[in-house]
């Protein structure tokens, strides 16, 4: 597997997490590609229009990338915060459609703005990393950080409130959870994550255009979560990684490639209704890790004993 | 180690609360670990090894064979397969056959990047593709950084060869082709006064070409009376057409892809438009015949390829095409794809004669091949072509043709205007 | 531009959206699930129609050059294509929906599995028939004029025909739903499958019926739209999917007359965007949808609904 593909998979995993966050509290928001597009557009504009962001060296400066990611994420989060109060009153499929409409509106705006390059988009985006491995390393660290935060979040009051809303919104209200605020928080976090991922993706893709945020992308990112599992953060990560890699890994099948891909998407939910990763499976994995830890400890003791052996009188 | 110990102690608690935060953090630490491991890959650099000729002379193509641009990729695939048969039939590269691997890029940028990377890692000497200009802006920089020659068979946007030294194209830009058809239309109908312009706003080719068309019209003193925008997914153009017809145009200029354009022509005629129609380069394919059928008759088209060109190269191409596709007329994209492979093959032949490919390492061979591509002159189905030092194509012949449909309205031809 | 012309333009656009949405909404009304394979079945219907009237497959698919030994008149080919599409829809129900329903799984899953079915169909069509576009011959409607004139405004005859047929289908569907035994049974299943089962209604059979009718409608509308515009390759129907989804929600999810109304309203909203702003057309359509959702989430004709996805 090439580092370029790995990078694409990691972006998929981050986007999966962005869809997962609102879904964690039962909100089916498909706005992720729209926020992703915003982040990318911010990064593309800043790094191609402002010389300081491109830098003078062979690669553009890393702080510029971090700043773009921050700004892209922030702009997306601001938009989410501004409209969240209104759209999050919608439920289920109605919220899904409203967010798809939002993605389409953003796409048309990007297409029509005088400074975003129209259909061709913005190109010649400078590179903060010289190689795809550089990107993949950076993105892995980012993904690990986001995963750690998601895992922490599930322990925090906010995370537990989110889960409570998903299970039974009425009951959650009754126990005093401010459901509107919790949902808004999740929505804003989702936008923030999609926005900063977009800023990173724009550099990696060298060019950025309005097509990035489309209906197709909305559905694909949703498939990441459903396929991987929507009950723990590891589900969308695995879903994003696997479904992004699959069309590439299926190249040896030739003309049947996308037919097999379709078959996997069709059979995935049928065979694994909870997704590939369920809390139970994770529990098993966790026990596995603990087991591994015990074994390692065993080896450690043996090693220590051997190492210390000769010194014993 | 301590992390794992603590993990064990917390297991019971985690089991109760469902998801153990710390254990999960450990998982994310594992992710981080693999990030660090990623830096440590090694091995000999394949680019410093000799070119691998065991399967033939390795070349790659990346085409949009799935997704909404699939029909272009399909046309290009035909051109490459036919050219490969022709070139290998004539002995390949001085006796060594060409080994061309064609990969699908889908119709988006990540797909093009993945396919480019895959081909480059396979050790190809040069790449043909990608199909769409948007994909080129995304994938070509990868080839440029890895110093792999690219010959683009269909990118017409401004700024493609400027991506870098290793990027060239055989597809001429709209800026050189489009004005010809306007000039010819005015020559045929000197009375034209009012031009209406249509283009697909979310399509890179259409929006680039319409700018050229509009400039050409304005230069002739025919500032468009209306400019109508469509979207790639649109199929019903009644709104745009009736709005335009209110301005009583006597010339309609279309920059649309083949399917939209064919539908547009049919709907224009059905809604009563009688004047002249000039269409852009994107409709230079017989794929439009079944769409606008009898209504295609009489439209003027600017061509970068004419099936009616009399030359040995075009005859060879036409012979192969008609044998495989049953007497049909080749689309421009097919001819351009053939041309791209022909250019690469001829440059490789010259390079190999100078010093055998076997004696070069991959990086050297790629570098030398690029110089060789740019220095040659090629007799192709498109006519004679060569390149500027930047890799922009210089094409000797452009054409303006008029579509003549046969009485059944099912097929026709692009009759060259003298 | 004068008002009649704008109305005609809107109805012309809307007729196609409405036609697409009728079958789409039927499955939703029964299962509460968006069937993402609907667009692909629509495409399939267009290809079936094309082949049945004697069309020939192009040179690029596995079926290169195939032509059926007979050529049916369009009026006969269309319902047959509808039936063939219905069979495919039943197959999709069997593979992508039923196993999930049996387990009482989250309806989000069926959305993704039906998406997978759509991906398979689209790529299968490309494998068999190539990526090229096909078209139903222009003379198929016989001697009808290409366009009609109404008070100086122009409209293509075929669009009027599409509108008329979609109204007709709507009436037939509504009469059947409201007036017949099986139609009422279907409604009962959509209201409450458990109670319906208790009342002795075979809900599985009813769901199959809904899929069959939905597939038939998809196939027939594919063939009809193919009469108006070319069959633009394997993604032909997919491109309508997004807008049709908006149409469903606008009219009220699961409401059959709502689908019709929603289609016409979106068509009109697009037609009323002035020419100078035609690049913003889609933003207007979706902005309008967004506004309706916020103001009246259940859609124009929908009943307020509990949390179905």
Structure confidence by residue, pLDDT tens digits, A259-301:
999 999 999 999 998 888 887 777 776 666 666 666 666 665 6
Q: Which chain B residues are within 8 Å of C235, Cβ to Cβ?
A: 67-68, 70
Q: How far apart are CA A137 and CA A120, in angstroms?
A: 30
Measure A141 CA to nearest chain B CA, in Å. 6
Say if residue A227 is in the same domain as residue A98: yes
pLDDT for B26: 56
Task: Give residues 220 to 239 of A whose Cβ lies within 8 Å of B.
Answer: 232-234
Among A87, A93, A246, A255, the strongest candidate for a mutation testing the C interface, having the largest count of C CBs within 10 A, is: A93
d(CA C110, CA A229): 14
So what's the pLDDT on residue B3?
A: 35
Per-residue confidence (pLDDT) for residue A296, from 0 to 100: 63
* Predicted pLDDT at A312: 41
Q: Say how far apart CA C216 and CA C169 lie, in whole Å.
A: 11
Contact across the interface for A258 and C119, Cβ inside 8 Å:
yes
For A293-299, which contacts have Cβ atoms below 8 Å and span 24 or more sequence positions?
A: A293/B4, A293/B5, A293/B7, A293/B8, A294/B8, A296/B1, A296/B4, A297/B1, A297/B4, A297/B5
Nearest CB to B38; choose among A136, A154, A210: A136
- With beta carbons under 8 A apart, name residues in chain A contacting B36: 137
Of 1.10.10, 1.10.3470, 3.10.20, 1.20.1640, the CATH number of C3-295 is 1.10.3470
Q: State mean pLDDT over B10-19.
A: 36
Return the top range by mean pLDDT from B389-393, C7-11, C198-202.
B389-393
Report which of residues C244 and B138 the model is more confident about: B138
B154 contact C CB<8A: no
Give yes or no: residues A86 and A67 share one domain: yes
Is pLDDT at B24 greater than 70 in this prediction? no
Percentage of chain C beyond pLDDT 70 is 97
Which residue, among A69, A103, A62, A57, has the nearest Cα to A83 in the 3D structure?
Answer: A103
CB contact under 8 A, A90 and C297: yes
Give the Cα separation of B324 and C79 in Å (integer): 35
Q: Which domain holds residue A7?
A: 3-271
pLDDT at position B113, please?
Answer: 96
| pLDDT above 60: residue B57 | yes
> Of C293, C296, C305, which to mutate for an interface test with A (greatest number of A Cβ within 10 Å)?
C293
Kind and range of the H or E element at B278?
A: strand B276-279
CATH number, residue A223: 1.10.3470
Inter-chain touch B66–C137, beta carbons under 8 Å: no
Task: Reply yes or no on whether the pLDDT at A169 is more than 50.
Answer: yes
Q: Does A2 touch chain B (CB under 8 A)?
A: yes
Give me the residue from B24, B134, B159 closest to A209, CB to CB: B134
Least confident of A126-140, B220-234, C211-225: B220-234
A14: which residues sit within 8 A by CB, 6+ positions away? A139, A142, A143, A146, A193, A194, A197, A240
Domain boundaries, chain C: 3-295
* Mean of all residue pLDDT scores within chain C: 89
Q: How far is CA C6 from CA B71, B75, B81, B172, B297, in A?
A: 34, 39, 49, 40, 29
| pLDDT of C97 | 93
**Contact yes or no for B148/B366 (Cβ under 8 A):** yes
Give the nearest chain B residue to C277 (CA atoms): B229
| Coil, strand or helix at C59 | coil
Residue B31, pLDDT > 70, answer no
Per-residue pLDDT, C308: 40
pLDDT per position as a tens digit, C111-159:
999 999 999 999 999 999 999 999 999 888 887 888 998 888 889 999 9
Enumerate the residues of chain A whose CB falls inside 8 A of the CB of residue C109. Answer: 226, 269-270, 273
- Say whether B272 and C147 touch across the interface (CB within 8 A): yes
Q: What is the pLDDT of residue C1?
A: 58
Identity of the residue in C103, C121, C242 whose CB atom sits nearest the CB atom of A215: C242
Tell me which residue in B25, B141, B203 faces A206 most closely, judged by beta carbons: B141
Say how many Å lie between the first and final Cα of chain B, rounded.
84
Residue C64 has pLDDT above 60, yes or no: yes
Asked if A219 has any chain B CB less than 8 Å from its own CB, the reply is: no
Q: Which H or E element spans position C10?
A: helix C3-31
Does the beta-carbon distance from B163 to A124 stay under 8 Å?
A: yes
From the list B357, B344, B368, the residue with the least C-alpha distance to B127 is B344
Minimal CA separation from A62 to chain B, in Å: 18
pTM of the prediction?
Answer: 0.90
Mean pLDDT, rounded, for C191-220? 90
For residue A258, give the nearest of C100, C117, C123 by CB distance.
C123
Contacts with B282 from chain C: Cβ below 8 Å: none
What is the three-class DSSP state of A120? coil
* Domain shared by A285 and A262, yes or no: no
What domains lie within chain B, and their CATH numbers? Answer: 6-171+312-387 (3.40.50.2300), 175-303+399-416 (3.40.50.2300)
Q: CB pairs below 8 Å between A and C: how many?
A: 137
How many folded domains does chain A comprise? 2
Hey, is the C-beta of A261 within 8 angstroms of any chain C C-beta? yes
pLDDT at C279: 81
Asked if A267 and A286 sit in the same domain, the reply is: no
In the block, tokens 């299943």 appear at C189
Contacts of residue C45, Cβ cutoff 8 Å, sequence gap at least 6? C81, C82, C84, C85, C218, C219, C220, C221, C222, C223
Which of the four pLDDT bands, split at 50, 70 and 90, describes residue B187? very high
Q: Sort C200 into a burial class: Cβ within 10 Å, 0-12 / 13-18 / 19+.
A: exposed
Banded pLDDT at C307 (limits 50, 70, 90): very low
Q: Please give the pLDDT value at position A281.
A: 74
B280 vs B185: CA distance, rounded Å: 13
Per-residue pLDDT, A304:
54
| Beta-sheet strands, E only, within B129-250 | 150-152, 167-169, 195-200, 226-230
Q: What is the mean pLDDT of residues B274-285?
A: 93
Helix (H) or strand (E) run with residue B104 in it = strand B98-104
Same-domain check for residues A246 and A307: no
Q: Are A26 and A89 within one domain? A: yes
Provide the mean pLDDT of chain B: 88
Identify the residue whose tokens are 């705006």.
A109
């Amino acid at each position: 597997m090439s580092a370029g593909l790995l990078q694409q998979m990691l972006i998929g995993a981050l986007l999966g997490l962005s869809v997962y966050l609102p879904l964690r509290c039962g909100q089916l928001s498909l706005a992720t590609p729209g926020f992703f597009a915003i982040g990318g557009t911010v990064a593309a504009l800043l790094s191609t229009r402002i010389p300081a962001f491109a830098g003078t060296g062979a690669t553009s400066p890393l702080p510029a990338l971090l700043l773009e990611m921050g700004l892209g994420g922030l702009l997306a989060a601001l938009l989410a915060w501004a409209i969240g109060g209104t759209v999050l009153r919608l439920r289920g499929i109605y919220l899904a459609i409203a967010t798809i409409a939002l993605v389409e509106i953003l796409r048309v705006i990007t297409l029509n703005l005088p400074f975003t390059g129209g259909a061709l988009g913005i190109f010649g985006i400078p590179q903060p990393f010289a190689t795809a491995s550089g990107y993949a390393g950076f993105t892995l660290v980012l993904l690990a950080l986001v995963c750690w935060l998601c895992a922490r979040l599930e322990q925090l009051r906010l995370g537990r409130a989110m889960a409570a809303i998903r299970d039974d919104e009425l009951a959650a209200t009754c126990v005093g959870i401010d459901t509107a605020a919790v949902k808004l928080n999740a929505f804003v976090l989702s936008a923030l994550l999609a926005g900063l991922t977009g800023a990173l993706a724009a550099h990696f893709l060298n060019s950025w255009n309005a097509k990035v945020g489309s209906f197709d992308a909305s559905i694909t990112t949703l498939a990441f979560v459903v396929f991987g599992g929507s009950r723990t953060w590891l589900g969308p990560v695995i879903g994003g990684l696997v479904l992004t890699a699959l069309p590439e890994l299926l190249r040896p099948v030739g003309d049947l490639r996308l037919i097999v891909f379709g078959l996997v998407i069709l059979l995935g939910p049928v065979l694994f209704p909870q997704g590939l990763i369920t809390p139970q499976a994770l529990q098993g994995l966790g026990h596995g890790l603990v087991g591994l830890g015990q074994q390692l400890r065993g080896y450690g003791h043996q090693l220590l004993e051997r190492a210390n052996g000769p010194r014993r009188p | 180690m301590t992390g794992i110990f603590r993990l064990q102690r917390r297991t019971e608690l985690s089991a109760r609360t469902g998801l153990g935060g710390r254990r999960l953090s450990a998982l994310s630490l594992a992710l981080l670990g693999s990030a660090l491991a990623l830096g440590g890959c090694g091995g000999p650099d394949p680019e410093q090894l000799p070119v691998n000729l065991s399967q033939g002379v390795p070349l790659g193509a990346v085409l949009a064979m799935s997704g909404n641009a699939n029909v272009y990729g399909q046309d290009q695939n035909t051109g490459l397969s036919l050219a490969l048969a022709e070139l290998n039939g004539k002995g390949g590269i001085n006796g060594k056959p060409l080994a061309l691997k064609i990969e699908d890029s889908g119709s988006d940028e990540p797909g093009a990047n993945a396919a480019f990377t895959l081909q480059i890692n396979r050790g190809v000497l040069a790449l043909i593709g990608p199909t769409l200009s948007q994909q080129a802006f995304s994938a070509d920089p990868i080839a440029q950084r890895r110093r792999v020659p690219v010959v683009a068979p269909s990118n017409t946007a401004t700024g493609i060869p400027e991506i870098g030294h290793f990027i060239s194209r055989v597809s001429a830009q709209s800026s050189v082709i489009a004005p010809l058809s306007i000039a010819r239309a005015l020559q045929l109908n000197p009375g034209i006064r009012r031009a209406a312009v249509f283009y697909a706003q979310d399509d890179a080719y259409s929006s680039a070409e319409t700018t050229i068309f509009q400039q050409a019209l304005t230069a002739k003193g025919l500032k468009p009376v209306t400019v109508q925008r469509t979207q790639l997914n649109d199929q019903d153009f009644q709104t745009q057409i009736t709005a335009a017809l209110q301005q009583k145009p006597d010339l309609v200029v279309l920059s649309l892809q083949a399917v939209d354009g064919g539908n547009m022509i049919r709907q224009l005629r059905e809604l009563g438009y009688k004047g002249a129609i000039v269409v852009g380069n994107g409709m230079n394919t017989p794929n439009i015949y079944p769409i606008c059928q009898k209504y295609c008759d009489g439209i003027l088209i600017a061509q970068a390829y004419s099936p009616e060109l009399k030359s040995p190269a075009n005859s060879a191409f036409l012979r192969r095409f008609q044998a495989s596709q049953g007497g049909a007329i080749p689309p421009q994209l097919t001819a351009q794809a053939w041309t791209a492979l022909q250019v690469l093959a001829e440059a490789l032949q010259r390079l190999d004669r100078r010093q055998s490919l076997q004696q070069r390492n991959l990086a050297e061979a790629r570098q030398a091949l690029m110089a060789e591509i740019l220095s040659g002159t090629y007799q192709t189905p498109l006519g004679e072509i060569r390149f500027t030092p930047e890799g922009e194509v210089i094409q000797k012949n452009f054409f303006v043709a008029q579509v003549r449909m046969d009485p059944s309205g099912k097929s026709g031809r692009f009759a060259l205007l003298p | 531009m004068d008002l009649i012309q704008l109305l005609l333009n809107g109805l012309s656009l809307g007729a196609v959206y409405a036609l697409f949405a009728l079958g789409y909404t039927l499955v939703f009304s029964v299962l509460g699930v968006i069937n993402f394979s609907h667009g692909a079945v629509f495409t399939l219907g267009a290809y079936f129609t094309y082949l049945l009237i004697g069309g020939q497959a192009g040179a690029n698919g596995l079926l290169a050059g195939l032509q059926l030994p007979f050529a049916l008149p369009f009026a006969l080919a269309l319902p047959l294509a509808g039936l063939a599409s219905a069979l495919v829809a039943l197959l999709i129900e069997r593979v992508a929906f039923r196993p999930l329903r049996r387990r009482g799984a989250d309806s989000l899953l069926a959305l993704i599995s039906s998406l997978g079915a759509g991906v398979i169909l689209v790529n299968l069509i490309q494998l068999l028939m190539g990526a090229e576009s096909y078209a139903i011959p222009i003379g198929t409607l016989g001697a009808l004029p290409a366009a009609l004139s109404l008070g100086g405004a122009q409209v293509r005859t075929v669009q009027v025909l599409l509108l008329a047929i979609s109204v007709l289908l709507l009436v037939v569907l509504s009469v059947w739903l409201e007036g017949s035994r099986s139609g009422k049974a279907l409604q009962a299943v959509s209201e409450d499958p458990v109670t319906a089962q208790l009342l002795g209604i075979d809900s599985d059979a009813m769901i199959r019926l809904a899929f069959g009718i939905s597939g038939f409608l998809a196939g027939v509308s594919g063939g009809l739209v193919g009469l108006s515009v070319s069959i633009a390759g394997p993604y032909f129907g997919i491109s309508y999917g997004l807008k049709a989804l908006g149409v469903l929600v606008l009219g009220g999810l699961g409401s059959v007359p709502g689908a019709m109304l929603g289609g016409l309203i979106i068509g009109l909203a697009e037609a009323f965007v002035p020419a100078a702003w035609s690049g913003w057309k889609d933003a207007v359509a979706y902005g309008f949808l967004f506004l309706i959702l916020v103001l009246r989430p259940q859609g124009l004709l929908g009943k307020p609904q509990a949390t179905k996805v």
